[in-house]
Amino acid sequence: VRWEDIGGLEETKRLIKTAYGLALARKPAGLNIDPGETMLLYGPPGTGKTLLAAATAGGLDATFFNVKVSNLLSKYFGESTKLISALYEVAHERNPAVIFLDEFEALVPARGSGESGAERRIVSTLLAELDGLAGKDDERFVLTMAATNLPWLLDSAILSRFQRKVYVPLPDDAAREEILRIHTEKKGHQSQMSITELITLTAGYSGREIEQICEIAAANMISRMNPDLIDRVEGGLDEIQAYELKVSPLTREDFNLGLDTIQPTTSSKMLRNYESWLGNLE
Protein backbone atom coordinates (compact mmCIF):
# COMPACT_ATOMS: atom_id res chain seq x y z
CA VAL A 1 0.00 0.00 0.00
CA ARG A 2 1.35 3.43 -0.96
CA TRP A 3 0.38 6.79 0.52
CA GLU A 4 -1.35 7.75 -2.72
CA ASP A 5 -3.66 4.73 -2.43
CA ILE A 6 -5.25 6.42 0.58
CA GLY A 7 -7.77 9.17 -0.15
CA GLY A 8 -7.89 12.15 2.21
CA LEU A 9 -6.58 11.89 5.78
CA GLU A 10 -3.89 14.45 4.94
CA GLU A 11 -3.51 15.59 8.54
CA THR A 12 -3.19 12.00 9.77
CA LYS A 13 -0.62 11.17 7.11
CA ARG A 14 1.42 14.23 8.13
CA LEU A 15 1.30 13.23 11.79
CA ILE A 16 2.54 9.72 11.06
CA LYS A 17 5.33 10.92 8.77
CA THR A 18 6.43 13.44 11.40
CA ALA A 19 6.62 10.69 14.02
CA TYR A 20 8.90 8.52 11.95
CA GLY A 21 10.88 11.48 10.68
CA LEU A 22 11.62 12.41 14.29
CA ALA A 23 12.47 8.84 15.17
CA LEU A 24 14.76 8.15 12.25
CA ALA A 25 16.51 11.43 11.45
CA ARG A 26 19.98 12.03 12.95
CA LYS A 27 19.72 14.28 15.95
CA PRO A 28 22.16 16.91 17.09
CA ALA A 29 24.00 15.85 20.25
CA GLY A 30 22.04 16.49 23.40
CA LEU A 31 18.66 16.76 21.68
CA ASN A 32 16.10 14.62 23.41
CA ILE A 33 12.86 14.57 21.48
CA ASP A 34 9.92 12.22 21.82
CA PRO A 35 9.03 10.87 18.39
CA GLY A 36 5.75 9.30 19.54
CA GLU A 37 6.26 5.74 18.49
CA THR A 38 3.00 4.55 19.97
CA MET A 39 -0.12 5.67 18.22
CA LEU A 40 -3.77 4.82 18.71
CA LEU A 41 -5.95 5.23 15.64
CA TYR A 42 -9.66 5.36 16.41
CA GLY A 43 -12.78 6.01 14.40
CA PRO A 44 -15.61 4.37 12.46
CA PRO A 45 -15.00 1.03 10.70
CA GLY A 46 -13.56 1.02 7.20
CA THR A 47 -11.99 4.48 7.25
CA GLY A 48 -8.43 3.50 6.34
CA LYS A 49 -6.75 2.67 9.65
CA THR A 50 -5.21 -0.54 8.32
CA LEU A 51 -4.25 1.24 5.10
CA LEU A 52 -2.42 3.95 7.05
CA ALA A 53 -0.40 1.39 8.99
CA ALA A 54 0.41 -0.57 5.82
CA ALA A 55 1.46 2.61 3.97
CA THR A 56 3.68 3.62 6.88
CA ALA A 57 5.43 0.27 6.69
CA GLY A 58 5.60 0.40 2.88
CA GLY A 59 7.06 3.91 2.85
CA LEU A 60 9.85 2.84 5.18
CA ASP A 61 10.49 -0.57 3.68
CA ALA A 62 9.65 -1.70 7.17
CA THR A 63 8.52 -5.14 8.22
CA PHE A 64 4.77 -4.98 8.70
CA PHE A 65 3.15 -7.04 11.44
CA ASN A 66 -0.62 -7.01 11.03
CA VAL A 67 -2.03 -8.51 14.21
CA LYS A 68 -5.62 -8.93 15.30
CA VAL A 69 -5.56 -8.63 19.07
CA SER A 70 -8.17 -11.37 19.47
CA ASN A 71 -5.66 -13.74 17.82
CA LEU A 72 -3.08 -12.86 20.47
CA LEU A 73 -5.45 -13.82 23.22
CA SER A 74 -4.85 -17.47 23.70
CA LYS A 75 -6.93 -19.46 26.07
CA TYR A 76 -3.82 -21.34 27.09
CA PHE A 77 -2.39 -20.02 30.27
CA GLY A 78 0.77 -18.00 29.66
CA GLU A 79 0.72 -18.32 25.86
CA SER A 80 -0.54 -14.80 25.14
CA THR A 81 2.18 -13.05 27.09
CA LYS A 82 4.78 -15.17 25.29
CA LEU A 83 3.24 -14.29 21.93
CA ILE A 84 3.34 -10.58 22.70
CA SER A 85 6.95 -10.70 23.87
CA ALA A 86 7.94 -12.76 20.83
CA LEU A 87 6.18 -10.29 18.52
CA TYR A 88 8.19 -7.37 19.91
CA GLU A 89 11.40 -9.36 19.93
CA VAL A 90 11.08 -10.24 16.24
CA ALA A 91 10.05 -6.66 15.43
CA HIS A 92 13.20 -5.36 17.10
CA GLU A 93 15.32 -7.78 15.11
CA ARG A 94 13.64 -6.89 11.83
CA ASN A 95 13.60 -3.14 12.35
CA PRO A 96 12.45 -0.80 11.04
CA ALA A 97 9.12 -2.39 11.84
CA VAL A 98 5.49 -1.39 12.15
CA ILE A 99 3.28 -3.42 14.46
CA PHE A 100 -0.41 -2.92 13.72
CA LEU A 101 -2.68 -4.11 16.53
CA ASP A 102 -6.21 -4.23 15.14
CA GLU A 103 -9.38 -4.53 17.22
CA PHE A 104 -7.38 -3.29 20.15
CA GLU A 105 -10.44 -3.11 22.41
CA ALA A 106 -10.44 -6.94 22.54
CA LEU A 107 -7.62 -6.55 25.02
CA VAL A 108 -10.02 -5.25 27.60
CA PRO A 109 -12.28 -7.97 28.98
CA ALA A 110 -15.98 -7.21 28.90
CA ARG A 111 -17.20 -5.75 32.14
CA GLY A 112 -18.64 -8.30 34.50
CA SER A 113 -16.88 -11.18 32.74
CA GLY A 114 -14.67 -11.63 35.81
CA GLU A 115 -11.24 -10.51 34.71
CA SER A 116 -8.71 -13.18 35.55
CA GLY A 117 -5.11 -12.84 36.64
CA ALA A 118 -4.06 -14.16 33.24
CA GLU A 119 -5.88 -11.36 31.45
CA ARG A 120 -4.28 -8.74 33.65
CA ARG A 121 -0.87 -10.20 32.83
CA ILE A 122 -1.56 -9.94 29.11
CA VAL A 123 -2.41 -6.27 29.41
CA SER A 124 0.60 -5.54 31.60
CA THR A 125 2.97 -7.38 29.23
CA LEU A 126 1.76 -5.27 26.34
CA LEU A 127 1.96 -2.07 28.37
CA ALA A 128 5.52 -2.97 29.36
CA GLU A 129 6.43 -3.44 25.69
CA LEU A 130 4.90 -0.07 24.85
CA ASP A 131 6.75 1.56 27.76
CA GLY A 132 9.95 -0.11 26.62
CA LEU A 133 9.53 1.42 23.18
CA ALA A 134 8.85 4.86 24.50
CA GLY A 135 11.91 4.78 26.73
CA LYS A 136 14.33 3.36 24.17
CA ASP A 137 16.87 5.78 22.93
CA ASP A 138 18.37 3.80 20.07
CA GLU A 139 18.46 3.78 16.33
CA ARG A 140 15.95 1.01 15.94
CA PHE A 141 12.48 1.99 14.91
CA VAL A 142 9.49 -0.05 16.00
CA LEU A 143 6.24 1.82 15.61
CA THR A 144 3.17 0.45 17.32
CA MET A 145 -0.11 1.46 15.77
CA ALA A 146 -3.18 0.22 17.58
CA ALA A 147 -6.62 0.63 16.05
CA THR A 148 -10.10 0.49 17.49
CA ASN A 149 -13.68 1.31 16.57
CA LEU A 150 -14.64 1.35 20.24
CA PRO A 151 -12.14 3.63 21.98
CA TRP A 152 -14.43 4.20 24.98
CA LEU A 153 -13.90 0.59 26.06
CA LEU A 154 -10.20 1.27 26.75
CA ASP A 155 -9.24 2.22 30.27
CA SER A 156 -6.97 5.05 31.30
CA ALA A 157 -3.96 2.82 32.10
CA ILE A 158 -3.93 1.64 28.50
CA LEU A 159 -4.75 5.00 26.96
CA SER A 160 -2.01 6.83 28.81
CA ARG A 161 0.60 4.62 27.09
CA PHE A 162 -0.23 6.02 23.69
CA GLN A 163 1.77 9.11 22.92
CA ARG A 164 -0.63 10.01 20.15
CA LYS A 165 -4.32 9.37 19.74
CA VAL A 166 -5.41 10.04 16.22
CA TYR A 167 -9.00 10.29 15.02
CA VAL A 168 -9.57 8.70 11.62
CA PRO A 169 -12.93 10.18 10.57
CA LEU A 170 -15.40 9.39 7.83
CA PRO A 171 -14.16 10.94 4.58
CA ASP A 172 -15.16 14.55 3.88
CA ASP A 173 -16.03 15.80 0.37
CA ALA A 174 -12.42 16.13 -0.79
CA ALA A 175 -11.49 12.72 0.62
CA ARG A 176 -14.53 11.05 -0.99
CA GLU A 177 -13.52 12.54 -4.33
CA GLU A 178 -10.08 10.91 -3.99
CA ILE A 179 -11.51 7.61 -2.76
CA LEU A 180 -14.01 7.53 -5.64
CA ARG A 181 -11.19 8.18 -8.13
CA ILE A 182 -8.98 5.51 -6.52
CA HIS A 183 -11.74 2.92 -6.86
CA THR A 184 -12.95 3.89 -10.36
CA GLU A 185 -10.51 5.83 -12.60
CA LYS A 186 -7.38 4.31 -11.12
CA LYS A 187 -8.88 0.86 -11.70
CA GLY A 188 -9.47 1.69 -15.36
CA HIS A 189 -13.17 2.63 -15.18
CA GLN A 190 -14.79 5.67 -16.68
CA SER A 191 -17.98 7.13 -15.32
CA GLN A 192 -20.99 8.74 -16.94
CA MET A 193 -21.94 10.30 -13.64
CA SER A 194 -20.26 13.51 -12.57
CA ILE A 195 -17.82 13.23 -9.69
CA THR A 196 -19.65 16.11 -7.96
CA GLU A 197 -22.89 14.13 -7.87
CA LEU A 198 -21.14 11.00 -6.65
CA ILE A 199 -19.48 13.00 -3.86
CA THR A 200 -22.91 14.20 -2.74
CA LEU A 201 -24.52 10.76 -2.97
CA THR A 202 -21.78 9.10 -0.89
CA ALA A 203 -21.96 11.51 2.07
CA GLY A 204 -21.90 9.49 5.30
CA TYR A 205 -20.27 6.43 3.71
CA SER A 206 -16.89 5.09 4.85
CA GLY A 207 -13.99 4.44 2.47
CA ARG A 208 -14.69 0.72 2.59
CA GLU A 209 -18.37 1.29 1.73
CA ILE A 210 -17.45 3.57 -1.17
CA GLU A 211 -15.08 0.90 -2.45
CA GLN A 212 -17.93 -1.65 -2.24
CA ILE A 213 -20.28 0.67 -4.15
CA CYS A 214 -17.70 1.04 -6.91
CA GLU A 215 -17.14 -2.73 -7.03
CA ILE A 216 -20.85 -3.42 -7.38
CA ALA A 217 -21.14 -0.75 -10.10
CA ALA A 218 -18.20 -2.27 -12.00
CA ALA A 219 -19.52 -5.83 -11.65
CA ASN A 220 -22.91 -4.71 -12.93
CA MET A 221 -21.30 -3.00 -15.93
CA ILE A 222 -19.30 -6.14 -16.73
CA SER A 223 -22.31 -8.43 -16.65
CA ARG A 224 -24.39 -5.93 -18.64
CA MET A 225 -21.70 -5.66 -21.32
CA ASN A 226 -20.86 -9.37 -21.42
CA PRO A 227 -24.14 -11.26 -21.21
CA ASP A 228 -22.64 -14.34 -22.86
CA LEU A 229 -19.64 -14.58 -20.54
CA ILE A 230 -21.00 -17.67 -18.80
CA ASP A 231 -21.61 -19.42 -22.15
CA ARG A 232 -17.97 -18.75 -23.05
CA VAL A 233 -16.80 -20.25 -19.79
CA GLU A 234 -18.90 -23.30 -20.51
CA GLY A 235 -17.26 -23.46 -23.94
CA GLY A 236 -13.95 -24.35 -22.31
CA LEU A 237 -10.57 -22.82 -21.63
CA ASP A 238 -9.65 -21.95 -25.24
CA GLU A 239 -12.90 -20.17 -25.84
CA ILE A 240 -12.76 -18.05 -22.68
CA GLN A 241 -9.10 -17.15 -23.22
CA ALA A 242 -9.89 -15.99 -26.75
CA TYR A 243 -12.63 -13.71 -25.49
CA GLU A 244 -11.91 -10.08 -24.58
CA LEU A 245 -14.15 -8.44 -22.00
CA LYS A 246 -16.27 -5.59 -23.29
CA VAL A 247 -16.47 -2.51 -21.12
CA SER A 248 -18.38 0.76 -21.02
CA PRO A 249 -18.34 3.79 -18.73
CA LEU A 250 -20.18 3.18 -15.45
CA THR A 251 -23.75 4.43 -15.68
CA ARG A 252 -26.16 5.93 -13.18
CA GLU A 253 -27.90 2.53 -12.96
CA ASP A 254 -24.58 0.83 -12.13
CA PHE A 255 -23.90 3.25 -9.28
CA ASN A 256 -27.52 3.18 -8.09
CA LEU A 257 -27.29 -0.57 -7.66
CA GLY A 258 -24.22 -0.06 -5.45
CA LEU A 259 -25.81 2.78 -3.51
CA ASP A 260 -29.01 0.79 -2.93
CA THR A 261 -27.13 -2.35 -1.86
CA ILE A 262 -24.67 -0.68 0.51
CA GLN A 263 -26.03 1.44 3.31
CA PRO A 264 -23.79 3.60 5.50
CA THR A 265 -23.31 1.86 8.84
CA THR A 266 -22.00 4.72 10.95
CA SER A 267 -24.94 6.55 12.54
CA SER A 268 -24.80 10.23 13.40
CA LYS A 269 -25.01 9.27 17.07
CA MET A 270 -21.86 7.13 16.69
CA LEU A 271 -20.13 9.99 14.91
CA ARG A 272 -20.89 12.34 17.77
CA ASN A 273 -19.46 9.76 20.19
CA TYR A 274 -16.20 9.56 18.24
CA GLU A 275 -15.92 13.31 17.88
CA SER A 276 -16.43 14.01 21.57
CA TRP A 277 -14.51 11.04 22.99
CA LEU A 278 -11.02 12.53 23.25
CA GLY A 279 -12.36 15.87 24.48
CA ASN A 280 -14.32 14.08 27.21
CA LEU A 281 -11.18 12.30 28.37
CA GLU A 282 -9.25 15.49 28.96
CA distance 168 to 8: 10
Q: Which of 36, 48, 96, 151 binds ligand ATP (CB under 6 A)?
A: 48
CA distance 109 to 6: 33
45 binds ligand ATP (CB under 6 A): yes
Of 146-205, binders to ligand ATP (CB under 6 A) are 147, 149, 171, 179, 182
Give the residue ranges of DSSP H helices in the chain. Answer: 10-24, 49-60, 69-72, 79-93, 117-135, 156-159, 173-183, 195-201, 207-225, 229-234, 237-242, 252-261, 268-281
Q: Which of 16, 49, 96, 130 binds ligand ATP (CB under 6 A)?
A: 49
Q: Which of 207, 254, 255, 266 binds ligand ATP (CB under 6 A)?
A: 207
Q: Which of 57, 208, 217, 221 binds ligand ATP (CB under 6 A)?
A: 208
16 binds ligand ATP (CB under 6 A): no
- Going by C-alpha positions, the residue among 246, 253, 239, 173 that lies closest to residue 210 is 173
Scored b (16 or more CB within 10 A) or e, 58-73 reads bbbebbbbebebeebb
Scored b (16 or more CB within 10 A) or e, 151-170 reads bebbeeebeebbbbbbbbbb
Q: Which part of the chain contacts ligand ATP (CB under 6 A), choosing from 47-55, 84-92, 123-131, 150-158? A: 47-55
Q: How far is the CB of 139 from ligand ATP (least distance, A)?
A: 29
Q: How far is the CB of 11 from ligand ATP (least distance, A)?
A: 12
Nearest residue to ligand ATP by CB is 207
46 binds ligand ATP (CB under 6 A): yes
Q: Which of 7, 35, 96, 151 binds ligand ATP (CB under 6 A)?
A: 7
What does the DSSP 8-state code read for residue 242? Answer: H
Interface residue list for ligand ATP (CB under 6 A): 6-9, 45-51, 102, 147, 149, 171, 179, 182, 207-208, 211
